[in-house]
Amino acid sequence: MPPPSEAAALDPPVRQPDGFHSAREEGSLTASYRTVPIREGGTFWRRFLAFLGPGYLVAVGYMDPGNWATSLAGGSQFGYTLLFAVLLSSLMAIVLQALCARLAIATGRDLAQACRDTYSRPTSFALWLLAELAIVATDLAEVIGTAIALKLLFGLPLEWGVLVTALDVFVILWLQSRGFRRLEAFVATMILVIALCFVGQLLLAQPSIAAIASGFLPSVSIVTDQQQLYLALGILGATVMPHNLYLHTGIVQTRAYREDLEGRREAIRFATLDSTLALGFALLVNASILILAAASFHATGHGAVGDLEEAHALLAPLLGATIAPVLFAVALLASGLSSTVTATLAGQIVMEGFLRLRISPVVRRLVTRALAILPAAAIILLYGETSANALLVFSQVVLSLQLPFAVVPLVRMSADRSKVGAFRAPIWLLALAVLIAVLIVALNAKLVLDFSLGALG
């Protein structure tokens, strides 16, 4: 028998004043909940492979089309200097996603369910609205990114490309019907395509290894130079996304791990390793975007290049190979297609978790995608295709403003022993998470202040 404190953590009462429902209550994504079997025994790597997958669904959100504009602008303007901002944002993401896995496995609840159980109904409703807004903003970036990729590859006008993105509904539904492991395999394949495309481009660009190494070290100019600071904040805001926190706490529960003390401890260990390795891979991809911009544009004196189409047009003459822009466009398309899968899953988790509302995945996906497609198509028709990049930036600002409303509840509940019991995170991890939460809130306050002063000026 486990000690009383550990038994309470495993089998809490059906309802506590500030606690959760029973951890044995079924979570979100009901069709996939605990459907991936975990075999007993075997080697460490055999058991770990059963947990491998959710981390890569999370990681793809850290390399979606919304990240590309800030990394391109940072690399083309300041060379390799802002690689430190990419590294810092990735480390922040690793800490927050580790808390997500721990909270989900310790309580049997995703973040949306945990918020619903912890906060009052009006507060939960407000958090749900903010989460939905973040998912729409994420979808907007994916719609624009995919439409730009279709234009670059096939010459399809942006307004038509935006409409074509609605067809991904059927791809996602087909993948889900084949099992959650198939969905994970599709996303992992898209990530591999992105990585191989950037490896090819970097081989053509031949960046300076010494300059790359120095770029990962902190530089005083990032703080003293206002333009560098602004882009560094943009990289931070575009990397850590609110929908990924909800997503991870939901999809980690697709694993049928043992629910005893040792089974959950092993699940937390493997789920954390999965997300850490995946986000480490995402760091390499994000760094590659900035390195490509630094080697191709900054080193050749082209200055700021923040527009995806401009970057595509410049790659062939600068690198001396017609394959370079093709690789860029293929990577962008793979990024948009894979990111849209995770946005769909996050939307389902948020709606089911906050509202206990289970609707058809087809309806859910069509509504979310329509909320992104309609404004995107309208703005492109009214203001022309040059407005697409501005929409990408706008979506990242919206995501940045929503982030504290997901991070603060996550950190607060992860530190509350009455909720996570014996699985409470180590003090050093909680301290890092609190520091990250404070930094995110401060950066968003600065963003709001800057916009306010700009509007008044």
What are the pLDDT digits (tens) for 411-442?
A: 999 999 999 999 999 999 999 999 998 988 88
Residue 260: pLDDT over 60: yes
Residue 14 lies in a domain: no
Residue 411 lies in a domain: yes
* 147-167 tens-digit pLDDT: 889 999 999 988 888 888 877
Q: For 385-426, where are the alpha helices, taking DSSP H only? A: 387-402, 404-414, 417-420
b/e per residue, 94-131, with b = 16+ CB within 10 A? bbbbbbbbbbbbbbbbbbbbbbbbbeeeeebeebbebb
Mapped onto helix, strand or coil, the DSSP state of residue 235 is helix
Residue 32 lies in a domain: no
Note the Cα 402 to chain centre separation in Å.
13
Expressed as residue numbers, the domain containing 379 is 48-449
CATH of the domain at 299: 1.20.1740.10
Residue 433 lies in a domain: yes
Residue 188 lies in a domain: yes
Please compute the mean of the pLDDT values over residues 295-307 and round it to a whole number. 80
Quickly state the pLDDT bin for 104 (edges 50, 70, 90).
Answer: very high
Residue 22 lies in a domain: no
Q: Are 279 and 59 in contact (CB under 8 A)?
A: yes
Residue 337 lies in a domain: yes
What CA–CA distance (Å, rounded) separates 1 from 235? Answer: 49
What CA–CA distance (Å, rounded) separates 238 from 62? Answer: 8
Indicate the number of domains in the chain: 1
* 28-85 tens-digit pLDDT: 677 788 889 988 877 888 899 999 999 999 998 888 887 887 888 889 999 999 999 9
pTM of the model: 0.87
Residue 24 lies in a domain: no
Residue 227: pLDDT over 50: yes
